[in-house]
Structure 1
Amino acid sequence: MAESGGTLQEDEEVPGLVNDILCQPCLSKDKQTVADKFCSTCNEFQCTECSNVHNVLTILRTHKLVNANETVAKQDLFDIKGLDRCNQHKKIIKFFCEDENHLCCSTCAIVDHRKCDSVVEVQKLAGKFMSPNSFVKEKFLATKEKAEGIIKQVMSSNEKLEQEVNKIPETINQVRDEVKRMFDDLEVSIVKKVKSFHEETQTKLTIKQSLTENYLSDIKSLLETVDSVYRNGSSAQQFIVEKKMENDATTLYRNVKEIFQDLETVSVSFHFDKTLKMPPFRISEYVPGQLAFEHHYVNRPMTLTTVSSIDLKKTGDDTNEPFFTGIDFLPDGRLVAVDNYNTKCIVYNEKLEKVGSYQLSHVPKSIAAVSEEDVVITSSSDYIIEFLHISKCNEITSDKTCKVKTQYDSICLKDDDQFAVRTINDKRHVRIVSMTGNENDFSVSFPTKKYTIYDSSCTYNKNNDILVLTDRYEHAVYIYDTKADTRVVVKDDQIEEPRGVAVGPSDTILVCSKGTNSIVQISQTGHILSSHKIDMIYPLR
C-alpha cells in the first residue's frame, strides 16, 4: 500500500479505494460491477444484468428485489455490539489485510499495514464470503454439544455414585443380625470412608461441571451474537464477526475438549466376607470385606487435527537425508528426536523450529524423556543406553552411558527408576532396564519368536501396569496386564502392519498402522475406538 502523510479521520477513506456496493455474482467471477439491486431470497447484491435473470427464470420470479442502497442503509443500522470497531482506534472496520489476516480500520490500514501487498475492503471480501456455513457458529455449536454432554455425564456419574453410596449401609445391614455387636463399629468406620471419598469425588466432579457451565454460558452468549448477526447483519458485519470470534471459538472448543477427554465415571462398592471370624480387636481395624474405590475413564473416540508439521531436509552439517527413528516431548512442550542416518539428537520448540543439536558417538534408535531436562537414548548398533541433559537454553550434554547386555530398540518409562525397553532378536521381547543399566525380565508370556529391528515396538502405561507390544507381520497388538498376568490380542482390518505404539488420552492406546497409513485408537480392554487417516505414508513412531 502507498503511504499517507496524515492520520485519517473517522469518516475519511483510504485514497484510491472505492466504496460502491459490488455485485456478488460478478465478484465470484473476479469481475467488479456496481450493484443496484438486493435479492432478499438469494441474500446477495446484484447488478442490473445479474438481477434480470429473475425475470427470465420462472423459479426466480417470486424472489423479492429491492434497491441496494436502501438495503445497505437498513443493515448498517444493525448494532453488533461494537464488534465492527477496531480494538485499537475504536473506528469502524472497513478493511482486511490478507497478508497478516487482520481486520483494519482506516487508520490501521494507513499506519500499520501500508507496506502490505493485499489490503482489501471488507465489503468486497464479504461479497465473496457469503458462506451459508459459519465456522464460528459451527465451532460454538460443536463445543456447546460437547459441554452439555460433559454436564450430562457428570450429573449421571454423581447420581449413580450417590445411589451406590446409599447401598453401602444396606449391604452392611444384611448381615447385621448375625454379628450385631461388631457391625455398629463397622458401619461407622466404612460409611465415614465412603462419605469422605464421596465428598472428595463430588468436589472434583462439581468443579468440572461448574467450569463447563461457565464455558457453556459463554458459548450461548456468543452464539446469540453470531445468530443475531447472521439474521440481521450485513455481509460485512458477518465477515467481521466471523474473524473476530474465530479465536474465541477455537479456545472454547479446546478448553471443553480437554474436560471432555478427561471425563471419568466413579463407583464404590462393598463386598462382605462371609467367612468372618470373631476378632479380638475393634471391628473397624479388621474390616470384614473389601472396600473398593474405582475411577473409570470414559473411553471416547478421539479426533486428530494437524497442529504443525515440518519437512525434514538435509542441512549443511548433515551427511545424509534425515531419518527420525524416535521422538518424544519434554514436559515444557519441546520436541526431542533422534536422527538415525546422521547420528544426532535434535531439539525443536513448540513451533517446530530447530533450537538444539548434539552429535552422538553411536547410531541412535529411540528416545524417551526422563525428566524436565533429561532424555535417554537407545542404540541400534552398540550395547549401550545414553543419558543426555538438555538445558532450558537447549544446550545438550552427555550425562552418562550405561553398558547393557542386550540390543534395545523402543524405550519408555516404566516407573520413576526403570524403563520398559523392546529388544532386538531376542525372545524376551520387552525387558526392564534401570537408570543404572541393570536388566531384568517381565513375568509375562511373550510370543515364542524373535523380532528384528523393524518388526515390533512397545510402550508401558505406568498408571495401571499395562504393557503393549506390536507384531508387524501378524498384524496384531498384544496388551498385557502385568499385575493380573492376563493378555489381550487385538486383530482388526483397521490394523495392518502395526509399528509404533504410545499411551494416548484417558490411558487409551495409539498404534501407527503402516499398511493403512493411519493411527488407530484402542481401549485397554482391546476395543477399537477410532481410526484416523493421516497425511503421510508408512507412519513409524
Structure 2
Amino acid sequence: MASKFESSIQRGCDFIHDFVCSPCEEDGLNTEAQYFCNQCTKYYCVNCVPVHNKLFKRHSVLDRTDKTKWAAAPGMVDVLERCERHPGEALKLVCGDHDQLCCHVCVAMDHRQCSAIQHIPDVAKGIRKDPEFRQLPQRVAVLRVQIEDMKNDRKKNSSSLRKTRTAILDEIKAIRRKINDILDQMEKTTVQELDGLVAAQELSIKKDMESCTQMDDELKNIIDDIQSKDSSGEPPLYIGFRKCEEIIKQAKEILQNMSNVVKYNITFRKHNGIEDYLSSMKSFGDFNQSNVFGVQPIASLNPRDHVFATEGYKEYNVRMSSDKSSCNIQGMCELPGGEIVILDRNNKVKLLDQEYRVVDHCDVPKYQHDVCHMGGNEVAVCVDNYDNRHELHFMNIIKGKLVTTRKLSFTHRCYSAAHHGNNLYISSGTALYVYTTTGQLVKKLYEDKSGGNTVRNIAISNDGKTIYITNFSNNQIITLDNLGNKLATFTDPDLRGPYGVHSTTAGHVFVCCLHSDTVLQVDKDGMTKLATLARIQDGVYSPQDLYFSSRTSSLVVGGRKDTLLVISVR
C-alpha cells in the first residue's frame, strides 16, 4: 500500500488520502476511497462503488463507519506494524527529531522538515540482543501485576465507597426520623395546648348557658306566681313584686358580666422561625471529599507538628456607628462560606463578610461570653448574668441575617461552649459539663475548684478525643481526653491570663493570653510551646479569643479594642 502513496506523491498530487480508490488508482487518478469490499479486498470511491455493487450484488461492502474493519480485512497491514494515524499504511520509518514511528504519509504530512529520518530495518538491526528488549517481557509482566493490583485496589475502594454511602444514608435517615419525632412531638404538644384552650372556652360557654337557663326559669316562675296571686289581695302581690325585682337585679348583673365577653375565640400565630430555619438548611450536613495521595509537599499539608511562622499583621475595624461603647470581642468563629460571627460583649453579636465588614448584627441579653460554631450556618452564644440567667442562644444565618432560633437554660454558669458530634461541652468557670444538643445533661466531665476561673474557654480536637481548657486563674492550659482524664498541664512565661483557645481541623492548637498580650502555638499534646506568634508590639491588646482560617491561612484575634488583628502565617 505504501507504493500507492509513493506514486501519488511522485505525481505531485495536492491531496494525500489514507485510502485511495483502487479502480481510480489503476486509471492514474488519486481519489479518496469511501468503501471497502471484503471479498474483493479493494477500495472504492462514491463513483466506483455503484458499478461494483451492480456487478457483485452479494459482496459485503463496508463504508467509513466501519473503517476499523477495513484494517482487519485480508491483505491489510499487520496490526503491530500498522500506523495508528493512517491504518492503511505500515510503519516504515523513524523520526529521530520527534522520537516517533512514522509511515510515509506521516513523513509527507508532518515530518518534511525533519533531518533525522531513518528506515526501521536499519534501526532495528541487533534488536534481539538489546538488553532492554530482552527484559521487555519481564517489565511488561511486572507492570501488568501493578495494573491488576491497582484495579483490585480501586475495586475495593469502590466497594468501600458503597458501604460508606450506605452508612451515611442510614445516618441521614436517622436524622430524618429524629426530625420527624421532634415535629410529631411539637404537633402533639401544640394540639394538646389547643384542646386545653378549647375545653376551657367551652366550659365557660357552658356555665354562661346554664346561668342564662337558670335566670330564665327563675323569672318565668316568679312572674307565674305573681299572676296566679292576682285575686289574693295586695300583700302577696307586693311580696312577689319585691322578689321579682331582686331576681331582675341579679339577672342584669349576670348579663352585664357576660356582655364583657362578646365572643369566646382562639387565634393561632405560627412560629415563622421554624420554617425559616428549615428552609435555610439546604441539606442535613456537609460532605468532605478527599483524595489520599502517596506523597504531598509538607507545606501544603501543614501536618499536626508543623510550626507556623508569621508573614504579616493587618487590622480591621469592626466598630459600628450605633455601638454605644468601644468593642470588647470575647468570641468568634468562621462559617463554611467564609463569613465570621463575632461576639462584641459591649454591644452586639455581629456578622462579618469575608472582608471583615459588618453586614448584620443581633441583640442578645447581657452578658455574653463566647460564641460556638454548631455546624452549617448555625452558632450558639453563651449568655450568663452571674445570677439567674445561664443560657445558650442558638442563631442561624437566614437570608444574610442573624436570626435567633432557640435557647437552652442551665442550672450552672455558662461561660464557653464547644460542639462535637451530638454533644455540647459547657464550661461553668470551674467545671466542664457534657450535654446533648437538645439540652439533656450527660455528665460532669471535669472540675477544678482551686480558683474562680479554672475552666474558662474550651476547644476540642477534630476527632473529639482531646479537649483543651484555658485555666485563667492558674495561668495554665489543661489537656483532657474525652473521658475527662487529665493528660497534660502546660505553663510558660508567655502564658499569663490564658483566655481563648482554638484547635484546627488539622490538629494545630493556638492560645491567646489576656494579661501577657500574646498569641501562642502549642503542640497537639498540650505540653510544649511551639511558637509565640504575636505580642503587644504586633497589635495584640488584651486578646480574648481567636480562630484559624484555613481559607486565608491566617489567625484572627479579637480583644478589648475596636479592631480584629489578622495574622498571616505559613
Q: Same fold (TM over 0.5)?
A: no
TM-score of the pair, normalised by structure 2 = 0.41
TM-score of the pair, normalised by structure 1 = 0.43
Larger radius of gyration between Structure 1 and Structure 2: 2
